[in-house]
Amino acid sequence: MTAPELGTLTWRPAAEVPELLAEPVRAALGDLPAWVAAIDATLADTAAFCAEYDVPMAASANCVIVHGKRAGESTYAAVMVLATHRADVNGVVRKHLGVRKISFAAQDDAVGSTGMEYGGITPIGLPSDWPVLVDDAVAQAGLVVIGSGVRASKLLVDGADLAKLASATVLELGTPG
C-alpha cells in the first residue's frame, strides 16, 4: 500500500506501528484503514500541529467529549467536527442526546473514562455505549487527521470510515468558524 501524502509527516500503516497508539485504540482499530505518524507531543493541539506539520485545518478533525445529564442520568458522547468548524453542543448535540444539561467533559473524567491522553482522544476505542456524533462535513472530507489516543502521534483516516463506526451517527453538528 502506498502511504498517503499529507503535510510533512511520514504516514505508516497503523497496524505496523501499534506502539504509536493508545491501548484502547489498538484494540479497536481492527480492519479500519488507518495510517499513523509520530509527532512532537508538545504540538498535539490542533493549531500548533497544523502549523508545524503543514496540515490544512480543513484536513484535521477534533474529537471532543461531552457530558450530559437528565433526571439524574449521565451520558457521555464523542463529537467529531472539522478544525475549521464549531460544534453546536448546546443545540444539536444536546437535543440529539436527549439531555437537559450538557458541557464538555472534565479533563480527568475524559481521560479516566477513555484510557486515552487528553489532547489525543479519538472516537476509535471509546467505550462501546458512548455515541459518536460525526459532523457531516467530517464524513464527507476524505482523509482527516485525528487523535491516536496519545499526544505523540496522529491517525489519518477517511472521514467516511468514522461515520461507519458501530456507535456513530452523522449529523449536521458544525458551522464554519
- Examine residue 6 and state whether it is found in any structural domain, yes or no: no
Q: What is the 3-state secondary structure (H, E, C) of 87-105?
A: ECHHHHHHHHHCCCEEEEC
Tens digit of pLDDT for each residue in 7-61?
A: 999 999 999 999 999 999 999 999 899 999 999 999 999 999 999 999 999 999 9
- Examine residue 3 and state whether it is found in any structural domain, yes or no: no
Tens digit of pLDDT for each residue in 66-99?
A: 999 988 889 999 999 999 999 999 999 999 999 9
Sole residue written with cell 445529564: 69
Cell numbers given for 136: 457531516
Cell numbers given for 140: 464527507
pLDDT of residue 175: 80
- Examine residue 160 and state whether it is found in any structural domain, yes or no: yes
Nearest to 61 by CA among 131, 132, 157, 167: 157
The answer to whether residue 136 scores a pLDDT higher than 80 is yes
pLDDT of residue 77: 97
Query: What residues contact residue 88 under an 8 Å CB cut-off, 6+ apart?
Result: 173, 174, 175
The answer to whether residue 173 scores a pLDDT higher than 90 is no
Tens digit of pLDDT for each residue in 141-154?
A: 999 999 999 999 99
Helix (H) or strand (E) holding 82: strand 73-82
- Examine residue 101 and state whether it is found in any structural domain, yes or no: yes
CB 77 within 8 A of CB 130: yes
- Examine residue 5 and state whether it is found in any structural domain, yes or no: no
- Examine residue 154 and state whether it is found in any structural domain, yes or no: yes
What is the radius of gyration, based on Cα positions, of the chain?
15
Domain that holds residue 123: 12-176
Banded model confidence at residue 174, pLDDT cuts 50, 70, 90: confident
Cα–Cα distance, 132 to 122 (Å, whole number): 10
- Examine residue 4 and state whether it is found in any structural domain, yes or no: no
Q: What is the CATH number of the domain that holds 107?
A: 3.90.960.10
Counted domains in the chain:
1
pLDDT of residue 1: 66
Cα–Cα distance, 39 to 10 (Å, whole number): 10
What values do phi and psi take at 94, rounded to 5?
-60, -45
pTM, full prediction: 0.94
- Examine residue 44 and state whether it is found in any structural domain, yes or no: yes
Banded model confidence at residue 2, pLDDT cuts 50, 70, 90: confident
